[in-house]
Amino acid sequence: MTTSQIRQSFLDYFASKGCHIIPSAPLVPKDDPTVLFNIAGMQPIVPYLKGRPHPAGTRLANSQKCVRTSDLEEVGDSSHLTFFEMLGHWSLGDYYKKEALEWIWEWLTAPEYLGLESSKLYATVYQGDKQIPRDDQSIGIWQEIFNDQGLSSEVGKRILTLGREDNWWEIPGAEQSPAGPDSEIFYYLGEQANPVFDPEDPDFIEICNSVFMAYQKTPDGYQDLVKKNVDFGGGLERIAMVKQGKDSVYGIDIFVEIDRAIQAIATKDDLRARRIISDHIRTATMMVGDGVVPDNNGAGYVLRRLVRRALREADRIGIDSQLIDQLVPVVIHLYQDAYQNLAQDKDQIIKVLSKEERLFRATLKKGIRLFHKEVQQKLTGEQAFKLFDTYGFPLELSLEEAKRLGLSISKDLDQEFAQSMSEQRERSRTANKGVFKGGLIDHSPKVIRYHTATHILYRALRNILGDHVVQRGSNITAERTRFDFSHQGKLTDRQISQIEQMVNQTIEAGLPVSYQVMPTEQAFEQGALGAFGDRYDDQVKVYQIGEDSNPYSLEICGGPHVENTIEVGKFKIVKEQASSAGVRRIKAVIED
């Protein structure tokens, strides 16, 4: 069975048991700010496990897309992945332990479904403690199941009882939470006859888990729930590994197809590198398909880091171009039946990731060369910051390169990096006082005109290119303005022309320039922009260009400015270039 067939078999089976098949929630949760991604199959179901009625009823099932990056450094071994699917079925006060355990056993072992060898399956249950008794009900159900198969059902051999760390579930850290024992199913990968069941033995792999939510955790202890829930989760990739007779998740059909595409364009062989590329590109494709875009913060930063790590590994095995163009279509083809949005958005997904590849490859080649020049025996925070600040080489890649070369790493690297960042910001504040604040290099009429022109330019950039544009620095003199801003990719001639035209139209419109002093919080509530990295007092000046009813721009700034835009003069962009990774720079002059 292919991975896709296993997924469909699960959904068909539980649909036959009255479960409503619900779609996978997006990777980025909408109502949970505590995590960047859905990290477990049950995560989107938690509100309903707490008692909220689900519109689809009391029996549910799906295959949920998940991302975990806590074990990122382990990706490439036999079992760790960043993206994975969790097969899940849920009872919201409906069926309970007997149905849940008997049904999953039937799906796993019946010839018309997965047909796994029953003698290779083992179970764990909750052993109990002073607060909650042993889960004898689950033990009894497992004994019936194993006895029916002619297998020993002795507790301590095929059935193990384990403590809270292994066989208990509740929301971590929550004072109030549904809670209960769980029962895990393990599959034996080895060849030994009648082995001793040891969950710590790598030959025994957990493939699924049924949580029985029988209690409500409160500050005063545990209370019985009137309506008891079932939460089942099974790792699709692990189940596919077992069904397909592989000793690694990277041996299943999905990864074989992606790996075949990698080997077709690689000139060197490195199994771990190929696995990392397969995993990261698969995850990146799923992320962009769910609306994530590369960024320096949040989910976008995780996406960017995964793409960069994949490209670093690709570079090592001789793939120096078009990694995205070659692999993303393969991933989409493998998943388009289950997640139709991937096929619908194929061109956009490739466009977003290809752009990130082009941008980073330039940084990567230069950065690796400069790393070898700057770092000899030991990587320090100061060196890592110089590579980041001057050349756009990410900190995580400096760390990875140091580890790869066997170099020592300063134990205070994070602190040294942060100190260098702080010192750089202070130097920037001292040297570039014209960054939308009081204290310009001087208050000559030409500098003031350039200062106002820079404000107009900033708004034009956001109007033409989009609200992702954020000021990253500026330097204003009596001869020119230089403005750095976040944006991926070189501006086209048309974009430059549009920006220049908008600035000049605003100047020629003769808009009034005024300011108000107001609380900083109020300024941001009104939509005022602030300078990147600046910290503000409780009261700030907010400069406005245009009439109150429809201002052209609104920014926090110390001034001074011209009183009317007509005073600025004719604005001309003379150069547009890269400043650092993901940052562009415009130089412009004013003609009288």
pLDDT of amino acid 432: 37
CA angle 62, 66, 69 (to 5 degrees): 165
Q: Are 109 and 121 in contact (CB under 8 A)?
A: yes
Nearest one of 312, 321, 305, 304 to 277, comparing CA atoms: 312
Q: Which residue has the tokens 């909408």?
A: 30
- Collapse the DSSP code of 198 into the 3-class scheme (helix H, G, I; strand E, B; otherwise coil) and give the result: coil
pLDDT at 4 over 90: yes
The set of residues, in sequence order, having a beta carbon less than 8 Å from that of 260 and lying 6+ positions away, is none
- Collapse the DSSP code of 573 into the 3-class scheme (helix H, G, I; strand E, B; otherwise coil) and give the result: strand
In the chain, % helix, strand, coil (3-state, to 5) comes to 45, 25, 35
Per the model's pLDDT, the better-predicted residue between 485 and 87 turns out to be 87
Domains of the chain: 3-247 (3.30.930.10), 253-362 (no CATH), 375-431 (no CATH), 445-591 (3.30.980.10)
State the average pLDDT over residues 481-504: 92
Rounded-to-integer distance, Cα 515 and Cα 520, Å: 14
State the average pLDDT over residues 328-337: 97
State the average pLDDT over residues 289-293: 92
pLDDT of amino acid 499: 96
pLDDT of amino acid 481: 93
pLDDT of amino acid 582: 79
Strand partners, 573: 588
Q: How sure is the predictor about 426, in pLDDT bands with cuts at 50, 70 and 90?
A: low
The one-character DSSP state at 510 is T
Rounded-to-integer distance, Cα 282 and Cα 309, Å: 13
What is the three-state SS of 336-368? CCCCCHHHHCHHHHHHHHHHHHHHHHHHHHHHH
Nearest one of 310, 396, 534 to 387, comparing CA atoms: 396
Among 105-114, 405-414, 507-516, the least confident range: 507-516
CA angle 183, 165, 234 (to 5 degrees): 40
pLDDT of amino acid 514: 86
Rounded-to-integer distance, Cα 159 and Cα 102, Å: 15
For the segment 553-590, what is each residue's pLDDT rounded down to a tens digit?
998 888 788 888 988 999 999 999 988 777 899 999 99
State the average pLDDT over residues 456-477: 89
Q: How sure is the predictor about 535, in pLDDT bands with cuts at 50, 70 and 90?
A: low
pLDDT at 434 over 70: no
Nearest one of 543, 365, 350 to 459, comparing CA atoms: 543
Beta strands in 301-439 (DSSP E): 378-379, 408-409
Q: Whole-number mean pLDDT of the chain?
A: 89
Nearest one of 214, 221, 269 to 97, comparing CA atoms: 214
Q: Which residue has the tokens 């990864």?
A: 255
pLDDT of amino acid 390: 61
Q: How sure is the predictor about 88, in pLDDT bands with cuts at 50, 70 and 90?
A: very high
State the average pLDDT over residues 423-448: 58
pLDDT of amino acid 392: 64
State the average pLDDT over residues 379-408: 84
pLDDT of amino acid 536: 64
Q: Are 211 and 204 in contact (CB under 8 A)?
A: no
Q: Are 137 and 100 in contact (CB under 8 A)?
A: no
Among 75-84, 136-145, 392-401, the least confident range: 392-401
Q: How distant, in Å, are the alpha carbons of 92, 130, 171, 218, 262 from that of 175?
A: 21, 19, 9, 6, 48
Query: What sign does the dihedral 51-56-57-58 (CA atoms) show?
Result: negative
Among 192-206, 207-221, 449-463, 522-536, the least confident range: 522-536
Most confidently modeled range among 280-284, 430-434, 445-449: 280-284
What is the three-state SS of 240-277? HHHHCCCCCHHHCHHHHHHHHHHHHHCCCCCHHHHHHH
Q: How sure is the predictor about 435, in pLDDT bands with cuts at 50, 70 and 90?
A: very low
The one-character DSSP state at 409 is E
Percentage of the residues of the chain whose pLDDT score is greater than 90: 62
pLDDT at 100 over 50: yes
**Cβ atoms within 10 Å of 555's Cβ, excluding its own:** 22
State the average pLDDT over residues 287-314: 90
Q: Are 547 and 512 in contact (CB under 8 A)?
A: yes
Residue 159, token pair as written in the block: 């059935």
Q: How sure is the predictor about 503, in pLDDT bands with cuts at 50, 70 and 90?
A: very high
Sheet with 583-591, edge to edge strand ranges: 471-476, 481-486, 583-591, 570-580
Amino acid at 355: K
pLDDT at 429 over 60: no
pLDDT of amino acid 560: 85
Q: How sure is the predictor about 128, in pLDDT bands with cuts at 50, 70 and 90?
A: very high
Q: Are 36 and 28 in contact (CB under 8 A)?
A: yes
Q: Are 269 and 317 in contact (CB under 8 A)?
A: yes
Residue 90, token pair as written in the block: 């849920």
Rounded-to-integer distance, Cα 223 and Cα 221, Å: 7
Rounded-to-integer distance, Cα 206 and Cα 184, Å: 7
Percentage of the residues of the chain whose pLDDT score is greater than 70: 94
pLDDT at 397 over 70: yes
